[in-house]
Chain A
Amino acid sequence: MDRTQTAPAFLQEFFSKHLFVPLHGWAFVGALLGTLLVAGLLFFLLSALPPLARRRLMKTLAFVAGLFYAVEFFWPEKGNPLTGYLIPLGTFLRVMGCFAIGLGLISLCTVHGKAVGRRSEGWINSAAFFAAFFAIVVFGFWQQYGKQPVHPGAYTFAGGMFHILFIGMYNSLEPTMFSILAFFITSAAYRAFRVKSAEASLMLGAAFIVMLGQVPVGMILTSWIPPDSGFAFFRLEKLANWILTGVSSAAFRGILFGTVIGNLALSLRTWLSLEKGAYFDKPL
């Protein structure tokens, strides 16, 4: 299956020797500083370009970058001259994806930092964010890189604190928030499901069948119908399954087609830079 091994892609050998290699020690630091320098230089050059030229350049780059996966999809059978870059590009995208964590962190710290600094309404919640954030970061790194427990299964102070914060608090608080839905859904269903029209009656009927068919207690209600008889279809679990796999599935398929066509149009507009305001439309 590994088509990337069959024939090297355009300039792949050169890049695999000089670019796609892990670096360590000073070489890594040097490469990192060099990358920052080159990126800063590129950014400066981009800013110096006239707006029209900048826009054209960004549109061309976006089109060429988007072309990679399009070519890969339409010309994949035995690989194309770019197939060799599939895995390095995947690694690059994953690395880029990791930057989102840093970006999210900066955004969170900016928003909550302002709230704490200005003592605006609810600033105490923002302060709680910083306390929780620093606690989990400090104990997380401490337990990972600090002294390890002597006996297997035992905890160091940092390990214990991390366990309390992550397993004890975070991992319990998240499902707690999610489980509150059970109360809201019950209350909302009681208030919203009113038989005021034929459509509402139809929906309520389907909801009753699915709700009963999804749980064993519903089965008990129609258990008197023999499972191998001609009327077995009318057992609640079978009716519920038919509604889900037949009626509901057909509706979802329709929605799916709609969203996929919408996505296709949006992707094309993004790829061809037809979206207004995209790619440095405004001055940097």
Chain B
Amino acid sequence: MLEWTIRLQTIDRRIIYGLVIGLIVLALLWDFPLPQAVSPEAQSLYETIESLPKNKLVVIAADWGAATRGECAPLTAAVVTHLFRNKRPFAIIGFAAQGPELTTAIVQKQAKEFGAKYGKDWCNWGYKVSIDSTLLSLAESIRRTIPQDVEGTKLDDVPLMKRVKGIDDVGLLVEFTGSGTLEAFLRRLPRSVKIAQGCTAVVGPEQYPYIDSGQLCGLLVGMKGAAEYEHLLGIRAQGTAAMRPQSLAHLLIIVLIILGNLGMYAAAKQGRDLKRKGEAAT
């Protein structure tokens, strides 16, 4: 029995990989219900959008690419649903090359469902390089920094931009990212623009200090953040569905850690017993 327990600390990695893939597939196929709590940070973003004045523009900063699509796409989709549902006009900008394109695909899909139109309900400012200098210029003049949208239409000719004169007409900026780009927004945008973020789980812990300081008005972290926001919206989409495999994967990690430690203690016990026997024999 002790021998078997000792073996628990050296489980073959292929068995571990097999268990991970097996549990993920099982959880994706088996739609079992799970409760969903909402963090104060997600609640805060939801309330900020709810209380946003109708004439204010929302800017979605799509600073993510295909690599982090797994987490960033459900986060973006959840917030876009809220914006379309509340008829809040928004513009997309991106400091990652693929971000605006991938976000546009999400928005176009939802625009069909909500009957939203490009130019009237949303527009795309496109990909920009050099985040700091772009934001610095944007804070001074939106039109001189971004003279036209991705389709080549002058911003003055985009209907929803007619009432947006400058940065003071931007009520909220929500950044979606898998990297540490938040500081540039906090540094360069005036305090009149509220800033919120949706980020991958691995970046999350770095962003919490900005919630405490009041510089972030909301934070959605990883797939859990998407699930929380979907719960607030009363929908079940990608984020909620992903909570099942994530739950089982977390449980698997915990079980494996416990087994590994049991194996380690068994090995230590065996070592002590052998030592004691050796001492008794001498």
Contacts and interface: CB of A to CB of B under 8 A. Distances in A.
Pairing of A with B:
yes
Interface stretch (A27-35, A54-62, A92-100): A92-100
B204 A174 contact: no
B141 A87 contact: yes
A223 B208 contact: no
Contact of B166 (A1, A204, A214, A249): A1
Given A220-B35, A253-B209, A183 B16 contact: yes
B205 A252 contact: yes
A216 B259 CA distance: 23
Contacts of B24: 182
Interface in A167-197: 170-172, 174-175, 177-179, 182-183, 185-187, 189-191, 193-196
A245 B212 CA distance: 8
A219 B35 contact: yes
A175 B70 CA distance: 7
Contact of B139 (A1, A97, A211): A1
B92 to A, nearest CB: 18
Interface string B232-255: 000000000001001111111110
Contact of B253 (A97, A194, A211, A219): A211
Contacts of B222: 214
Contacts of A175: 66-70
A90 B20 contact: no
A218 B224 CA distance: 12
Contact of B141 (A2, A94, A174, A237): A2
B249 to A, nearest CB: 7
Contacts of B140: 1-4, 86-87
B145 interface: yes
Interface in B21-61: 21, 24, 34-37, 39-41
A253 B209 CA distance: 6
Given A87-B137, A248-B205, A187 B17 contact: yes
Contacts of A174: 65-67, 69
A89 interface: yes
Contacts of A223: 35
A256 interface: yes
B145 A90 contact: yes
A87 B66 CA distance: 31
A214 B224 contact: yes
**Dominant SS among interface residues on chain B:** helix
Interface in B144-176: 144-145, 166-168
Given A2-B140, A241-B40, A97 B130 contact: yes
A252 B208 contact: yes
Interface in A189-235: 189-191, 193-196, 204, 208, 211-212, 214-220, 223
Q: Interface residue tally of chain A, by bracket? A: 35 or more
B37 A189 contact: no
B133 interface: yes
Contacts of B11: 190
B141 to A, nearest CB: 4
B212 A214 contact: no
A245 B211 CA distance: 8
B119 interface: no
A244 B208 contact: yes
| Among A3, A177, A241, A245, residue most surrounded by chain B Cβ atoms (within 10 Å) | A245
A110 interface: no
A91 interface: yes
Contacts of B253: 185-186, 189-190, 211
A191 B70 contact: no
A244 B167 CA distance: 33
Contacts of B227: 216
Contacts of B264: 194-196
A284 B140 CA distance: 40
Contacts of A220: 34-35
Interface centre among B69, B250, B259 (most CB of A within 10 A): B250
B35 A215 contact: no
B166 A86 contact: no
A183 B20 contact: yes
Given A5-B141, A94-B133, A171-B66, A244 B204 contact: yes
A177 B67 contact: yes
Nearest to B33: A216
A249 B34 CA distance: 28
Contacts of B13: 187
A182 B41 CA distance: 26
Interface in A134-174: 170-172, 174
Interface of A: 1-5, 86-87, 89-91, 93-94, 96-98, 100, 170-172, 174-175, 177-179, 182-183, 185-187, 189-191, 193-196, 204, 208, 211-212, 214-220, 223, 237, 241, 244-245, 248-249, 252-253, 256
Given A187-B17, A193-B260, A216-B36, 4 more contacts: A183-B17, A186-B17, A195-B261, A214-B201
By Cβ-Cβ distance, the 5 closest A-B pairs, closest first, are: A90-B137, A216-B34, A97-B129, A217-B247, A174-B66
